[in-house]
Structure 1
Amino acid sequence: MTSSDTGGGMAAPFALRELFVELNDLKRVHSAGRIGSIAERLFAQGWSALTGGADPETVAIDITAKALAASRLCDLDAAFLASAGLGEVEIGDVLTSGLDAVTATVDPELKRRLAVALRTNGVVHGGPLPGFVAALSHQPRAGVTCPGKPRILLEPPENHAEHCLMVAVYGVVLSPFYRADPTLVFLAAMSHHFHNAAMPDAGFTGEMLLGDHLAPIMARTTQWALDELDAPLRETVERARAVLPDDATAEGRAFHAADCIDRVLQISQHLKAASLTMTTVLDDMELVHAGPVKGFHDRVLRDMRIP
């Protein structure tokens, strides 16, 4: 992939589109015995690793690798595979097979680092979860809002933890294209909605109605979240957040591209579900798939006139 520039080149790599569409579903995948979606839990894992003293670069690569592998494996993760009796090498083989299944368009050097992370499981010591992690997990996103118009709510809503995690993962994957520091992009994305840990999300409409009150309220509520972090992590996150205001830096471009992509794909998946056809389900996706009883299944559906 070639790097973008400000002289009229490509603003984003089209080759990553299908991967990002698939990754977005991590906000909607749940499993028995686990609270929250995969995206929500990876958000918590990331912050636990950071407060536990893990190197931010290691955390960024580790969480991104887990997210990419989960896009196909879902919650067949290292913890489950170990509980089911697989050894370290076997677990690494399964996880990297999930990674390989979706990363044909990912930057080769980044892909290599992600594969190494899945085999080494470098982030193991978790620290205490700041209060903003649970708060963002319980704070719904506003939906589609526009000043002067009623909002459009699409159920179920995503939460802010899911959004931040997805933007962080997209940002890391996009970083080679923009020649950006993936760690800065990751930390900026993981913290860019700190204000919403305390501030309910009324969307663009609500922000405009706050007028001159918006900036001081956001600054105050952001600081509440930052104050939950000990130094030097707090200072590291503050430095990363410096890329948030604009696209003047490579990191700012990677972040804003990721943020925009996630916001639109979140709505797109609702429209995709609404337009789904049985031809896609039965023919393209082979819902009644090949096996010893497929012929019988087909006759049952035919005789029941289903669909």
Structure 2
Amino acid sequence: MKAITITEPGGPEVLTWTEVPDPVPGPGEVLIDVTASAVNRADLLQRQGFYDPPPGASPYPGLECSGHVAALGEGVTGWKVGQPVCALLSGGGYAEKVSVPAGQVLPVPDGVSVADAAALPEATATVWSNIFMGGGTATSSNVFTVARLRPAETLLVHGGASGIGTMAIQLAKAVGARVAVTAGGPQKLARCAELGADILIDYREQDFVEELRKATDGAGADVILDIIGAKYLDRNLRALAANGRLAVIGLQGGVKGELNLGMLLGKRGAVTATSLRGRPLQEKAAIVAAVREHVWPLIEAGTVKPVVDRVLPMPEAAAAHRTLESGAHVGKVLLVAPAGRR
């Protein structure tokens, strides 16, 4: 098969479409003939040499894919060869084939094309596990977030026009929350409004803390989904409502910040930070099962939709990375395999 390989850490030009060995599904795995993959910011970090795949994962970039089941590993049930599926991956999506643990595979939702389904696994799993999931058991409680957004609460989403952001807006509105977003420029904010965002903040021109206070009569956000990290830490705390919950899922603004514990204590707030890629298989399977139970019906009803900015041939992954780096996109950028079945 062919896959996008990273010849050395560097810019988009190091992404090369080349011949590599075919993957073989091991016990408990599903082999997928890939139709499409989606570009995530983690892929850019991996290309630059800052985010290695977990041990045992495919060395090729790509944290999600869609396609058709090609083969089943020993002990796999519930799937059949030829079935259209999408999957959450630890790597390997930028390829013609990928092998993935069966617990991370999802059916393509009714009403969604096989290619567009590649835009769903990473965004839905990230958003649902960070701001909605609750409960858990003694052995799996760390799968579940403390954010637990509730109806009528206010959610602030940083990067509202991103793949994660566009999904977070739709899911939050579906559960009856009020949604505030930050995004760069009126065009992106307009797209966020189309998806249901109630409070629109241009981070280039406005102070999101002040704008959020105005829009909430001084209360602030009950939950904040943050992709920035250190740069926004202090302002996020100031933007939190009493009993607010801050979920950090990205570090675009740095890894080290000063946390005002007095402010956090006074607000009776909570700060969590999670990543999805390196979680144990059992935790990923629990998240994917929850997404299938709670999110897939919303997609099949048309309440929530994948937001796809553009589709490029997989050999042109470098152009897709440049698009993501420029910020000139709303939603997901997809890569379609040359021979992928639609």
TM-score interval for Structure 1 and Structure 2 normalised by the shorter chain: under 0.3
Bigger CA radius of gyration: 1
TM-score (norm 1): 0.28
Which structure shows the bigger proportion of residues in helix conformation?
Answer: 1
TM-score (norm 2): 0.26
